[in-house]
């Protein structure tokens, strides 16, 4: 651990923590986090996966995972995660009205996140996937310094501005000694469903160039695809709804690479 950093306290019963981050909002971070968590289970059905929605200002995990209602309280006074598609989920969206968190300030946000990390009956979990808030502000930094994170995944589109922000994200993780497992290039290409023509709406190969520059790997490319959006919006992530589609295969391959990379980092 780098000198001068606070000691990170593990979450009891949680073996690996993977954070999914993005330099800015709207690039598909939550969609990636959800399909990544499901991809890990699809690849290795015996593993236990948790999904924590730390995006307190715009929690989307309840909708994407088709979950609602209030968590039960366990006998040892912990919030019991809600489960769907085999994933244990926790989100501020289960605890407060959808719009309530928007007016929160720093300390309230951090105490809410602390609660979601530590006052939840996660155990046992092999991989806890954290959907981070977008950007590189104080909240992201505090999460990074609060728990031992095994690795970070940065989601970006191939567009210049998104890439600049993603680079800032990678720098933040490196400063606090968290391995950057790689970059997911989302909305990499649009394939016309009628004629099969490929259109690079947000530019081409941007993530490859950035990844080379900052010396990280591109974990995979996800196309801009109408079914990814439609299925996520109705709470049936594509890895579950169309497990054999090329899009689901892309998420599963990214999940496999991440798990492999994680174990490499540990040795």
CB of 80 to ligand ADP, least distance (A): 25
CA distance 84 to 163: 33
Q: Which of 11, 228, 254, 258 binds ligand ADP (CB under 6 A)?
A: 228
CA 212 – CA 218 distance, rounded (Å): 9
Minimal distance, residue 238 CB to ligand ADP, in Å: 9
130 binds ligand ADP (CB under 6 A): no
Is residue 30 a contact point for ligand ADP (CB under 6 A)? yes
Instruction: Work out whether 222 is an interface residue with ligand ADP (CB under 6 A).
Output: yes
252 binds ligand ADP (CB under 6 A): no
Query: Which residues within the stretch 69-128 sit at the binding site for ligand ADP (CB under 6 A)?
Result: none
Listed as own residue / partner, the contacts of 165-171 with beta carbons closer than 8 Å and 24 or more positions apart are 165/22, 165/23, 165/24, 165/135, 165/136, 166/22, 166/23, 166/207, 166/210, 167/23, 167/210, 167/213, 167/214, 168/23, 168/136, 169/21, 169/22, 169/23, 169/136, 169/140, 170/214, 170/216, 171/214
Contact between 152 and ligand ADP by CB under 6 A: the answer reads no
Which residue, 91 or 232, has its beta carbon nearer to ligand ADP? 232
| Of 50 and 133, CB closest to ligand ADP | 133
Name the nearest CA neighbour of 104 among 52, 137, 56. Answer: 56
17 binds ligand ADP (CB under 6 A): no
Residue nearest to ligand ADP (CB): 28
């Amino acid at each position: 651990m780098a000198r001068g950093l606070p000691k990170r306290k593990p979450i009891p019963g949680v073996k690996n923590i993977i954070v999914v981050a993005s330099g800015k909002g709207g690039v598909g971070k939550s969609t990636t986090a959800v399909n990544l968590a499901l991809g890990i289970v699809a690849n290795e059905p015996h593993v236990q996966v948790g999904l924590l929605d730390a995006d307190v200002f715009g929690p989307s995990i309840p909708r994407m995972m088709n979950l609602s209602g209030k968590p039960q309280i366990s006998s040892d006074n912990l919030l019991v995660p809600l489960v769907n598609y085999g994933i244990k989920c926790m989100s501020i969206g289960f605890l407060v009205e959808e719009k309530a968190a928007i007016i929160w300030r720093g300390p309230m946000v951090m105490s809410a996140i602390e609660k979601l990390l530590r006052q939840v009956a996660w155990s046992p979990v092999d991989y806890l996937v954290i959907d981070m808030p977008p950007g590189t502000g104080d909240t992201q930094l505090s999460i990074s310094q609060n728990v031992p994170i095994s690795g970070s995944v940065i989601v970006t589109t191939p567009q210049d501005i998104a890439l600049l922000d993603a680079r800032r994200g990678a720098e933040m993780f490196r400063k606090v000694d968290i391995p950057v497992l790689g970059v997911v290039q989302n909305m990499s290409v649009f394939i016309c469903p009628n004629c099969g023509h490929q259109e690079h709406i947000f530019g081409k190969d941007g993530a490859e160039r950035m990844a080379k520059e900052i010396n990280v790997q591109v974990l995979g490319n996800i196309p801009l695809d109408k079914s990814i959006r439609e299925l996520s919006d109705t709470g049936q992530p594509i890895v579950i709804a169309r497990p054999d589609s090329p899009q689901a295969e892309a998420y599963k391959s990214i999940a496999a690479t991440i798990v492999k990379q994680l174990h490499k980092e540990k040795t």
